[in-house]
Amino acid sequence: MLRGQGLDSLKIDIETPEATAIRVAVISDAAPARNGVGAYYADLVEQLNDHVAHAALISPTVKDGVWEGGLMFPLPGDSTQKLCVPSIRGLMRRVDEVKPNVVIIPTPGPYGLIGSQIAKRHNASVIIGYHTHFEKIMSLYWNRIRIIGAVTRGYFEVCNRILFKQGKLVLANSQEMVSVAQRMGAPAVELMGTPIPKSFLDDPVVPMNSEIKRVLFAGRLAAEKNIEAFLDAANDLPDIEFVIAGDGPMREAVRKRVDKLPNTSLLGWIPRAQMQTTLDSIDVLVLPSLVESFGTIAMEAMARERMVLVSHGCGILEWPELSRGLFVIREDETVTQALARIADLDHSVRKKKAQRGRIAAKQLNEWTIITWLELLKRGVDGEID
């Protein structure tokens, strides 16, 4: 990670030829803020537009709970998410409006596959974002129905391989995902960091309590998130308030358990604009995932100077600077035991850890934007091979 060299010092001035040459289209199947990938590119586009001629996110959208963006089908294994098939003509028109010379494809769905072909009309450099190990996640959903599981995993593997061939470069946000992409035949793979909303870093921090009073899980209510471990802790620690923010295929199962826990509340999916306020209201974020390519919500909580407790399944631990600002659930302990261990620490120790996490989150966000800007310039100059 870069140190001692701030974003301002490396900023590509919008008046320079380099900046005015960069026009970026992100073509994604993930709606903004509905999952980690959607949040990643919404945040990236927001920050890139401070430095380049134009950056646009082209994807399905969700307005007042209604999905828009083409023909809608439930995502296999999660009816709360949609697989959208766009109008080819409409998608071409949206891309033509951007006039991109770099196209980023972060998803192996219809938007991504069609978008990679449209990019050729503009002779744009194509960069593939590889964020989700779909094959591994699907094994959690379909391990009992082998035929469906095999078909689903096969679909994602084939689509990813197609995109890897279309792109000049594949980017992944953890070393594990880099290795997976390489095994799947990606010709060139690089590690890329994760951006977060500017307000999470710029707004003043709300001091956390001297004791652990409120704990949050935020994310999809799905098998890979290991939400049961969080609910078990809520049952074991009745004096602490547990809050769940999210939606997903396990929503009803989670709701049934929450109804029996007086210290636990289920907020459902909350808009991204409210997440900062939600994080400011808690003391600890818990991410007990079995499979988590990175864990953006953990970095967002770190940015708000909150304690963050993660499992060994979270890719964020592969970033040394970030890992030093995290608490980790040990292999031999439950979420309950991990929270009790943290609660036994002196408040000054917990506060120092949270402060270290905020500094690390700010550094990684800065490094990420710098690296993206340098990469986009390489794309415009035809230097990505």
Q: What is the mean pLDDT of residues 306-313?
A: 97
pLDDT of residue 20: 62
Tell me the percentage of the chain whose pLDDT exceeds 70.
Answer: 89
User: For the chain, what is the mean pLDDT?
Assistant: 89
Pair (72, 18) in one structural domain: yes
Whether the per-residue pLDDT at 220 is higher than 70: the answer is yes
pLDDT of residue 42: 95
Sheet holding 169-172, edge to edge: 54-58, 23-27, 102-105, 125-130, 169-172, 189-191
Pair (61, 169) in one structural domain: yes
Pair (204, 247) in one structural domain: yes
* Residue 1 maps to a domain: no
Whether the per-residue pLDDT at 139 is higher than 60: the answer is no
Identify which has the larger pLDDT, 177 or 17: 177
pLDDT of residue 135: 57
Pair (150, 262) in one structural domain: no
Total tally of structural domains belonging to the chain: 2
Pair (23, 168) in one structural domain: yes
Residue 219 tokens, joined? 């994310």
Place of tokens 């929503």: 251
How confident is the model over 273-302, as pLDDT tens digits? 899 999 999 999 999 999 898 999 999 999
pLDDT band at residue 108, thresholds of 50, 70 and 90? very high
Pair (177, 223) in one structural domain: no
Place of tokens 């070393």: 175
* Residue 243 maps to a domain: yes
pLDDT of residue 7: 45
* Residue 313 maps to a domain: yes
pLDDT of residue 35: 83
pLDDT of residue 143: 56
Listing DSSP states for 329-364 in one string gives --TT--HHHHHHHHHTS-HHHHHHHHHHHHHHHHHH
Paired strand residues for 56:
25
Which of 8-17, 81-90, 142-151, 251-260 holds the top average pLDDT? Answer: 251-260
In this structure, how many other beta carbons lie within 10 angstroms of the beta carbon of residue 373? 21
Cβ burial, residue 264 (10 Å; 0-12/13-18/19+): buried
- pTM of the entire structure? 0.88
pLDDT of residue 14: 42
Domain that holds residue 371: 7-195+363-380
Pair (203, 324) in one structural domain: yes
Whether the per-residue pLDDT at 268 is higher than 90: the answer is yes
How confident is the model over 84-97, as pLDDT tens digits? 999 999 999 999 99
Pair (208, 256) in one structural domain: yes
pLDDT of residue 168: 87
Pair (125, 258) in one structural domain: no
How confident is the model over 118-128, as pLDDT tens digits? 999 999 999 99
Pair (371, 316) in one structural domain: no
* Residue 2 maps to a domain: no
d(CA 269, CA 234): 20
How confident is the model over 338-374, as pLDDT tens digits? 999 999 999 999 999 999 999 999 999 999 999 999 9
pLDDT band at residue 137, thresholds of 50, 70 and 90? low
Sheet holding 241-245, edge to edge: 264-268, 241-245, 214-218, 284-287, 307-310, 327-328
Whether the per-residue pLDDT at 174 is higher than 90: the answer is no
| Percent of the chain that is helix, strand, coil (3-state, to 5) | 45, 20, 35
pLDDT band at residue 2, thresholds of 50, 70 and 90? very low
pLDDT band at residue 16, thresholds of 50, 70 and 90? low
Q: What is the mean pLDDT of residues 165-190?
A: 91
CATH number at residue 285: 3.40.50.2000
d(CA 199, CA 208): 18
* Residue 385 maps to a domain: no
In this structure, are residues 99 and 126 in contact, taking their beta carbons and an 8 Å threshold? no
Q: What is the mean pLDDT of residues 92-104?
A: 97
Pair (160, 22) in one structural domain: yes
Pair (139, 247) in one structural domain: no
pLDDT of residue 235: 98
pLDDT band at residue 238, thresholds of 50, 70 and 90? very high
